[in-house]
Chain A
Amino acid sequence: MRAVLMGNPNVGKSVIFNRLTGVKVVVSNYPGTTIEYLEGIMRVNGVKLKVVDAPGTYSLIPSDKAEEVALNLLLRKQTDLIINVVDATNLERNLYLTLQLREINIPMILDLNMIDAARHRGIEIDVSLMEKLLKLPIVCTVAVSGEGIKELYQLIKEFVVGKGKES
């Protein structure tokens, strides 16, 4: 099984990738740090899940080479799960990509990252309403400190278990 981390540049995909797989990645505070993709393996319930850290992209219509890489990672190979990492402090701009991803019929988990910075700026998000509107499970995380990563892992596990029952 294969999961792809998708999201805008500089939202923390690489940190989440590192948290999930243990693979060390260069992480910086500017858009465009990941230009090549990285793959790592995480074990969920005895199942091997390949996790791909895609370069950041604002849209599925690519405008540079790194965005092309991201699109190809999603469409060229069998993708079983999209983990859409979203910057909670820039919800509207990030949702643009989320909605595009939602068109594609691939199961998806939404990760509202940097939720601490959002709270700090006085941004309050009604997560359960958002889950209903987008029809997907949402988890709030602070990737750099590890907050919420357990819950994200739990959501991934539920997906893998459900997938196992199907086949």
Chain B
Amino acid sequence: MQIEFEPRIERAIKSIVQKTGLPRWQVVLALEGLEEFKKKIPIDIFTKSIRQIEQDHKEQIESIMLKARFGQAGSIVKRVQKVHHRHPTWLEKFGDITVKPSTGIPLAFLVLYGIFYLFVTLAGWITDKIMVPFFEGPYDKVIHFIVESFFPQGFVHDILLGTSGAGYLESLGLLTTGVFVPIGVVLPAVLIFYVILTLLEDVGYLPRLAVLVDSIFHKIGLHGYSIIPVILAFGCNVPGAMASRILETKRQRFVVLTLLGISVPCMAQTAVILNIIGPFGVEWVVVVYGILLCIFVGAGSLLNRVLPGETPEIAIEIPPYRLPRFSNLGMKAALRLQRFFLDAVPWVFVGILIVNVLYTLQITKILSDVLSPSLGGWLGLPREAIYPLLIGFLRKDVATGLIAPLLNKGIMDIYQAIIAVVILAVYFPCVATFVVFLKELGIKDTLKSTLLMIATALGVGGLLNLIFTMVR
């Protein structure tokens, strides 16, 4: 279908079509600013055809075309649409309340606090009251019976069941820790998180949160909409990193991805942090997240200063509040859980297998001999900390779990545990996230980002060690 523009623009289109032989639609899109087709038109033909129009309108051809298009759309709408007056519904009134800063910001705090509280209580309750009794009771008996009737002792027995007498978080057997960490600890957290996230998504709260945090985010070189990749990353860094595509400039994507890798722990990590630091008191968990938040803001404002370029303002579309549909909630949560099982659980197994192999071959002993001076001196960590730090490249939950036995046996104190947990969160994203980084940023920027992470991890780790030696 041919859509008419004003006579002068039509003449320009016709003359370009005649001179280049391109189809009309490609010429129209070129005038609207599509680089791909603009390149097909010799520059002199292009500028000559539009010069007079740009002079008359005192505007770039792209904006002239933009206005013309909206003019066309407007005239159609005027003819086909009738709007009857009607009072705003309660959902619309509520929508206004949640974006107006004076009422929106307190509400946002309330919502986020409520979510955090609900999340911690529910996930903790499922783990403590259902999962732990199940794994330590019937599951333990059955699994021991089956394995021991085939392999009464030896290497296979140890790999499957791990160190006997140790708890399920730390024994490092494939069937003990390997099943307990993803299902007993991480699954409840992931489940609760995704149900809450899905609800927020479907209702339409996230874009409103984006508007509220916009001015804060501009200080770290991002605009408010970056809150969406950040929130998704709290579930798992992989979808979070992928969602960075909604940002327009490469600079913003680099900043968001680096900040995600550096300071946003995924649900798997959060679950284990709650599990091992939680028993020492909620205030220690708050300390860990406070440190990560400081890193987020600090690294963000630093990147904003160092990287060339600016953060463009954008207009974002805020959808109306909609009542969620339970069928969609269920389907989405199920899809995400399925991804968790397919993507995460195999890596947990690989991680545990590697720990066992490294341990048997004594490779970790050699590595810890080499690295322990720097580990011990600058970071103040015992040599055993090398295990979690190595496995952290693969899976953050298994790695964080490895800190538990060190804490329980008194090899580490709570301060060292916090340093280790923070370093694990900062120094490198897990393999799966790294692959997404490569895809989204390319090799060069991924390396840059990784170097930044390692530098931050060492810097922050050392600094924490200094501070902790003073307070201890």
Find out whether the CB atom of A134 lies under 8 angstroms from the CB atom of B1. yes
- A61 to B248: give the CA distance in the assembly, Å: 13
Min CB–CB distance A75 → chain B (angstroms): 8
- Chain B 54-74 interface residues, beta-carbon cutoff 8 Å to A: 62, 69-70, 72-74
Any B CB within 8 A of the CB of A2: no
What 0/1 readout, one digit per residue, does chain B (14-36) give for beta carbons within 8 Å of chain A? 00000000011100110011100
Instruction: Return chain A residues, CB-CB under 8 Å to B82.
Output: 123-124, 126
Report the stretch among B129-137, B168-176, B297-305, B316-324 that lies at the interface. Answer: B316-324
The answer to whether A30 and B84 touch (CB under 8 A), given A133-B79, A144-B328, is no
Instruction: Return chain A residues, CB-CB under 8 Å to B332.
Output: 26-28
Query: Which of A32, A127, A133 is most buried by chain B, counting CB atoms within 10 A of its CB?
Result: A32
Any A CB within 8 A of the CB of B158: no
Any A CB within 8 A of the CB of B77: yes
Instruction: Return chain A residues, CB-CB under 8 Å to B33.
Output: 61
Closest B residue to A58 by beta carbon equals B317
- Chain B 186-204 interface residues, beta-carbon cutoff 8 Å to A: 198, 201-204
- A99 to B317: give the CA distance in the assembly, Å: 20
The answer to whether A123 and B83 touch (CB under 8 A), given A60-B29, A64-B248, A100-B32, is yes
The answer to whether A35 and B243 touch (CB under 8 A), given A28-B202, A95-B77, is yes
Q: Which of A32, A96, A102 makes the CB contact (< 8 A) with B243?
A: A32
The answer to whether A99 and B83 touch (CB under 8 A), given A24-B331, A28-B202, A31-B316, is no
Q: Which of B29, B201, B228 makes the CB contact (< 8 A) with A29?
A: B201
Find out whether the CB atom of A30 lies under 8 angstroms from the CB atom of B80. no
What 0/1 readout, one digit per residue, does chain B (312-347) give for beta carbons within 8 Å of chain A? 000011011010010010011001100000000000
The answer to whether A29 and B317 touch (CB under 8 A), given A60-B29, A61-B32, A92-B73, is no
Min CB–CB distance A64 → chain B (angstroms): 4
Q: How many residues of A contact B (CB 8 A)?
A: 49
Any B CB within 8 A of the CB of A130: yes
Min CB–CB distance B143 → chain A (angstroms): 33
Any A CB within 8 A of the CB of B452: no
Find out whether the CB atom of B81 lies under 8 angstroms from the CB atom of A126. yes
Min CB–CB distance A157 → chain B (angstroms): 22
Instruction: Return chain B residues, CB-CB under 8 Å to A135.
Output: 1
Closest B residue to A10 by beta carbon equals B319
The answer to whether A133 and B76 touch (CB under 8 A), given A91-B81, A96-B70, A122-B84, is yes
Find out whether the CB atom of A96 lies under 8 angstroms from the CB atom of B73. yes
Any A CB within 8 A of the CB of B86: yes
- A59 to B24: give the CA distance in the assembly, Å: 18
Min CB–CB distance A106 → chain B (angstroms): 10
- A59 to B70: give the CA distance in the assembly, Å: 11
Any B CB within 8 A of the CB of A63: yes
Any A CB within 8 A of the CB of B39: no
- A10 to B322: give the CA distance in the assembly, Å: 12
Min CB–CB distance B437 → chain A (angstroms): 15
Any B CB within 8 A of the CB of A125: yes
Find out whether the CB atom of B29 lies under 8 angstroms from the CB atom of A100. yes
Find out whether the CB atom of B81 lies under 8 angstroms from the CB atom of A30. no
Any B CB within 8 A of the CB of A117: yes
Find out whether the CB atom of B83 lies under 8 angstroms from the CB atom of A31. no
Any B CB within 8 A of the CB of A65: yes
Any A CB within 8 A of the CB of B435: no
Instruction: Return chain B residues, CB-CB under 8 Å to A124.
Output: 81-84
- A61 to B34: give the CA distance in the assembly, Å: 5
- A60 to B23: give the CA distance in the assembly, Å: 16
- A123 to B83: give the CA distance in the assembly, Å: 4
Find out whether the CB atom of A28 lies under 8 angstroms from the CB atom of B69. no
Q: Which of A9, A31, A63, A126 makes the CB contact (< 8 A) with B248?
A: A63
Chain B interface size band reads 35 or more
Q: Which of A93, A103, A117 makes the CB contact (< 8 A) with B3?
A: A103
Find out whether the CB atom of B246 lies under 8 angstroms from the CB atom of A105. no
Any A CB within 8 A of the CB of B245: yes
Min CB–CB distance A100 → chain B (angstroms): 7
What 0/1 readout, one digit per residue, does chain B (281-316) give for beta carbons within 8 Å of chain A? 000000000000000000000000000000000001
The answer to whether A122 and B86 touch (CB under 8 A), given A26-B332, A144-B325, is yes
Any B CB within 8 A of the CB of A66: yes
Q: Which of A32, A63, A66, A134 makes the CB contact (< 8 A) with B76?
A: A134
Any A CB within 8 A of the CB of B247: yes
- A125 to B82: give the CA distance in the assembly, Å: 6
Query: Which of B70, B242, B319 is most buried by chain A, counting CB atoms within 10 A of its CB?
Result: B319
Find out whether the CB atom of A61 lies under 8 angstroms from the CB atom of B70. no
Closest B residue to A98 by beta carbon equals B73
Min CB–CB distance A73 → chain B (angstroms): 14
Closest B residue to A88 by beta carbon equals B81
Any A CB within 8 A of the CB of B179: no
- A117 to B320: give the CA distance in the assembly, Å: 10
Any A CB within 8 A of the CB of B401: no
Closest A residue to B27 by beta carbon equals A103
Min CB–CB distance B15 → chain A (angstroms): 18
- Chain A 106-135 interface residues, beta-carbon cutoff 8 Å to B: 117, 121-127, 129-130, 133-135
The answer to whether A27 and B328 touch (CB under 8 A), given A92-B77, A99-B3, A122-B85, is yes
Min CB–CB distance B33 → chain A (angstroms): 5
Q: Identify 28 residue pairs between A and B in the complex whose beta-carbon atoms are under 8 Å apart, listed by A's number.
A: A9-B317, A27-B328, A28-B202, A29-B203, A29-B204, A29-B319, A30-B206, A30-B207, A31-B319, A32-B228, A32-B245, A35-B246, A64-B247, A64-B248, A65-B253, A89-B320, A93-B73, A98-B73, A99-B69, A100-B29, A100-B69, A102-B3, A103-B28, A103-B29, A121-B83, A124-B84, A126-B81, A126-B82
Residues of B within 8 A of A (CB): 1-3, 23-25, 28-29, 32-34, 62, 69-70, 72-74, 76-77, 79-86, 198, 201-204, 206-207, 228, 242-243, 245-248, 253, 316-317, 319-320, 322, 325, 328, 331-332, 335-336
